[in-house]
Amino acid sequence: MAETSEQLFERAKGLIPGGVNSPVRAFQAVGGVPIFMTRGRGAYLWDCQSRQYIDYVGSWGPLILGHAHPPVIEAIQAAAACGTSFGTATAGELAMAEAIIERVPSVEMVRLVNSGTEATMTAVRLARAFTRRARIVKFAGCYHGHGDGFLVQAGSGAATLGVPTSPGVTAAAAADTLIARFNDIQSVRQWTDRYGQDIAAIIVEPVVGNAGVIPPTAGFLPELRRLADDRGIVLIFDEVMTGFRLAPGGAQELYNMRPDLTTLGKIIGGGMPIGAVGGRRDIMNLLAPAGPVYQAGTLSGNPVAVAAGLASLEALTGPVYEQIETRAGQLEAGLRDNLKKLGLAWQYQRVASMGCLFFTDKCVRDFDDALRCDTAAYGRYFHAMLERGIYLPPSQFEAFFLSAAHSEADIERTIAANYESLQVVARREVAKPPIVRRELGG
């Protein structure tokens, strides 16, 4: 008989720190034992006990076409059959660079790396080399990977030097990171007025996806562009999550923006590990071996990951984006209608195929607003939805992701489960453990 998630997790805790290889998987934000999954297909996941779920995590964003999308799997198999890694240049790397440059007008050159964290670290290093300055501005609630300079929070006061949020990050590393508030241009202007000649980069998620989903207010991104231009600061868009998801050219296409550097990941790997940094030719040419800024990686441009990503990008046609938008709109309308019927003031926020149900009665415009959410209520909601066969992010501060594989029936079932689950939360009941369900089909 197959081991249960409880048994697997108990075994994992003696082998892996916390029993997981990425913290959000541990379910600490919602309580309970993490679910161990064994396979996925289309919009569905199956756990180690063969329970089936409609999945709205999608491996945290890469699987915009759904799990095990046939052309992606075929591309992976064909590439792997030729070898998994060469440590040499390949034609596939050129094809990926061309595909990115064709779709993202601000990108003139590309460097492939192995993860989003590598991409953001490289982008900041490039910005510092280009400007010959040290400091960066980031926004509370935006996540740019686990590089030392990013694991920083604001100190007390509206504009203070950053302080480390993780042991192992030195005060010196944190001191070069200045924390501003998303959607508050004045909080950025305070830094540029004070340290304008020492700021190398402003790095931002153009749509915040690591504090729930927080869209930019009108004028915020253009004002960032103007501030950066006025002060000679490199503007970096972290589109690891939003790239090729919100539009063919990412958030910068959706909002008609042109950053100096862009970081990418997730979708360009089709579910395989990958990252990329791209942007202006004069900045990118500082990278070794063309220039003095060193960056290297044994598995950078891995042929299997590149093949999976190219197959994903090729499949993302206009009609596919339209289909995903239709489904995302149907889900939003259904969830909002449920809230209205039940007289609940909680907020659903969406940008294209990213969404989040915030357990607060106030529109969420920045990380401070997100922190006011009732996280205990979200935990009850998560488990109520899990019982009904819906797999959501195990944290209030993460995004839902829709894919092209979600059908109208999946959306309808999700809306019905949402209505029942909201009733559970409103009554402050504890959801029952997940129950065994038959497969939904396919």
Which of the following is catalytic: 44, 53, 143, 321? 143
CA gyration radius, the chain: 22
What are the beta bridge partners of residue 350? 355
DSSP structural state of residue 433: P
Neighbours of 326 (CB within 10 A): 12
* CA dihedral of 276, 304, 52, 331, whole degrees rounded to 10: 40
What distance in Å separates the CA atoms of residue 137 and residue 139, rounded to the nearest whole number? 7
Which of the following is catalytic: 238, 260, 366, 369? 238
What distance in Å separates the CA atoms of residue 192 and residue 234, rounded to the nearest whole number? 12
Active site residue 348: no
CB contact at 8 A, 206 and 242: yes
CB contact at 8 A, 47 and 38: yes
Written as six digits, the tokens of 376 are 């205990």
CB contact at 8 A, 150 and 138: yes
Active site residue 340: no
What distance in Å separates the CA atoms of residue 25 and residue 13, rounded to the nearest whole number? 13
Select from 162, 155, 150, 165 the least CA-distant residue to 119. 150
What distance in Å separates the CA atoms of residue 65 and residue 270, rounded to the nearest whole number? 9
Which of the following is catalytic: 260, 266, 321, 348? 266
CB contact at 8 A, 180 and 121: no
CB contact at 8 A, 388 and 435: no
CB contact at 8 A, 207 and 242: yes
Tell me the DSSP string of 187-250.
HHHHHHHHHGGGEEEEEE-SSB-SSS-BPPPTTHHHHHHHHHHHHTPEEEEE-TTTTTTSSTTH
Written as six digits, the tokens of 80 are 């792997």
CB contact at 8 A, 112 and 265: no
Residue 346 CB contacts under 8 Å (≥ 6 apart), including other chains? 339, 357, 358, 359, 360, 361
Active site residue 266: yes
> Active-site residues: which are they?
143, 238, 266
